[in-house]
């Protein structure tokens, strides 16, 4: 990852100079030589550059390249981060860049955006030339208070690091990221001070996580459930927040087989688990003074000879029985068992699960994830965290009447409503597994898990990081 340093000194010789510019305001030229200032003034006039958000102007002819970047008409952190993310492309072939901003915060936020924008996933590309790789190695940020800027930037580094981690997990092919490999990768995070327990196939059977077992019956790869805990308040026995993530490492739909187009993103059906684990990693990196507990269910949903059949009935960890109406409604089964296991074994009264059940993209585009909650206060906390992180949520109704759609004549419930539609019913299904007195929210990120580039978006990581900080 790029190195970001803060300095009160002038730009080193030969370093690209980046100058943020507010809309219709004069360019601040205190980091420019007289010759460079004249070049910039001329270029701005010729290009009619006004500093609109996301626009850039590259100026050549001086001692080094100069990049003017428009940051709009106000000091908004999210806008500055987006500008920084786009700025990376302008600096792709430069080794060092010097950001000369009007305030320390503007410089920090732009540098944070550059870190986010520098992400790539090219480990499987074999024909790249030297020109295809970025040369940028260091961002120098002009700072009036070097020590404070460095300290304030630590959370940005942590979040950028875990965003890369979550995206890498989601972008890996399912042939590599099996449940066992995913679980082993999470286990490795113990070096940060996290406690990690991996439940293998035998442990799942002995403990009675029947729904997780059912989903994995058709797969050659055995399932795993992983419990991750962080105790930032060791004197406190209870947990401030519980997290649950859906980790279907590949979802073919089981015998309710998806069509070929429907499988295109199914290696990312573990995006909820990736976001949850990344949020736990962020908490450890930042030494958050909270107690957190997470459970992620990892499995593959394949149409093998032992796959669960339509009409089968399975017993969940909670003891409730579920009739299988559609094997492609498997994520809710895994999440339900994980929710029940979390509540049964750990003292936690506030839980958020993150999953990819049914796409809201046709309704919200790629701008919002769906939020379901049984508690207004928790819902408001999540909505606020979404606004602050830039990962917006839209609250959906959660009504007991939807549970009537899940009634089964032969079991406690079905895994899908009778008409096979209705995203709300999937949340209603999970609600059946929430114990009395537990504040719970379900977030569906299926419509936002993928960025325009085709790579994973990492949605949910920053949202959960903000929620944890504001608890």
Backbone φ and ψ of 243, nearest 5°: -125, 145
Give strand pairing partners of 102.
Answer: none
Active site annotation includes 258: yes
Chain mean position to CA 148 = 28
| Alpha-carbon distances of 229 from 111, 198, 199, rounded to whole Å | 31, 12, 14
- Tell me the Ramachandran region of residue 239: left when phi exceeds 0, alpha when psi lies from -120 to 50, beta otherwise: beta
Per annotation, catalytic residue among 41, 86, 207, 258: 258
Active site annotation includes 332: yes
CA-wise closest residue to 299 among 261, 347, 262, 248: 248
Per annotation, catalytic residue among 82, 108, 332, 439: 332
CB 373, CB 382: distance < 8 Å: yes
- Tell me the Ramachandran region of residue 194: left when phi exceeds 0, alpha when psi lies from -120 to 50, beta otherwise: beta
Q: Coil, strand, or helix at residue 346?
A: coil
CA distance 196 to 115: 29
The alpha carbon dihedral of 391, 426, 449, 368 has a sign of: negative
CA distance 367 to 390: 9
146-171 helix and 461-470 helix, angle to the nearest 10 degrees: 130
CA distance 377 to 222: 39
The H-assigned helical ranges of 172-267 are: 179-187, 201-207, 210-215
By annotation, the residues acting in catalysis are: 258, 332
């Amino acid at each position: 990852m790029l190195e970001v340093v803060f300095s009160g000194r002038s730009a080193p010789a030969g370093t690209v100079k980046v100058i943020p510019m507010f809309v219709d305001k004069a360019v601040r030229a205190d980091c420019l030589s007289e010759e460079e200032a004249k070049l910039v003034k001329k270029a701005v006039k010729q290009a009619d550059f006004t500093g609109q958000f996301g626009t850039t102007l590259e100026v050549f002819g001086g001692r080094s390249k100069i990049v003017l970047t428009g940051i709009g008409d106000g000091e908004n952190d999210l806008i500055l981060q987006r500008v920084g993310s786009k700025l990376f492309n302008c600096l792709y072939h430069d080794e060092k860049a010097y950001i000369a901003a009007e305030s320390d915060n503007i410089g920090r936020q732009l540098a944070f955006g550059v870190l986010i924008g520098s992400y790539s996933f090219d480990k499987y590309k074999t024909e790249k030339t030297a020109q295809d790789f970025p040369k940028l190695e260091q961002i120098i940020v002009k700072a009036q208070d070097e020590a404070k800027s460095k300290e304030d930037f630590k959370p940005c580094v942590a979040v950028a690091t875990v965003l890369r981690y979550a995206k890498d997990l989601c972008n890996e092919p399912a042939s590599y990221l099996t449940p066992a490999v995913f679980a082993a990768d999470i286990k490795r995070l113990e070096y940060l001070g996290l406690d990690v327990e991996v439940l293998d196939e035998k442990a799942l059977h002995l403990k009675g996580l029947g729904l997780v077992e059912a989903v994995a019956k058709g797969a050659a790869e055995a399932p795993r459930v992983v419990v991750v805990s962080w105790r930032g308040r060791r004197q406190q026995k209870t947990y401030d927040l519980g997290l649950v993530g859906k980790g279907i490492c590949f979802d073919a739909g089981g015998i309710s087989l998806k069509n070929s187009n429907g499988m295109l993103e199914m290696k990312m059906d573990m995006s909820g688990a990736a976001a949850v684990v990344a949020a736990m990693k962020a908490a450890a990196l930042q030494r958050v003074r909270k107690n957190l507990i997470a459970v992620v269910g990892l499995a593959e949903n394949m149409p093998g000879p032992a796959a669960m059949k339509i009409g089968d009935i399975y017993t969940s960890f909670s003891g409730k029985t579920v009739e299988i109406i559609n094997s492609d409604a498997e994520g809710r089964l895994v999440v339900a068992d994980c929710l029940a296991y979390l509540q049964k074994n750990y003292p936690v009264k506030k839980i958020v699960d993150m999953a990819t059940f049914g796409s809201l993209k046709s309704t919200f585009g790629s701008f919002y994830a769906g939020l379901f909650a049984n508690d207004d206060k928790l819902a408001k906390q999540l909505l606020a965290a979404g606004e602050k992180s830039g990962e917006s949520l839209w609250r959906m109704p959660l009504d007991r009447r939807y549970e009537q759609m899940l009634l089964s004549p032969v079991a406690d419930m079905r895994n899908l409503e009778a008409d096979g539609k209705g995203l709300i019913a999937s949340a209603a299904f999970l609600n059946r597994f929430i114990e009395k007195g537990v504040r719970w929210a379900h977030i569906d990120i299926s419509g936002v898990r993928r960025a325009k580039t085709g790579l994973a978006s990492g949605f949910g990581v920053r949202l959960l990081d903000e929620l944890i900080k504001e608890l």
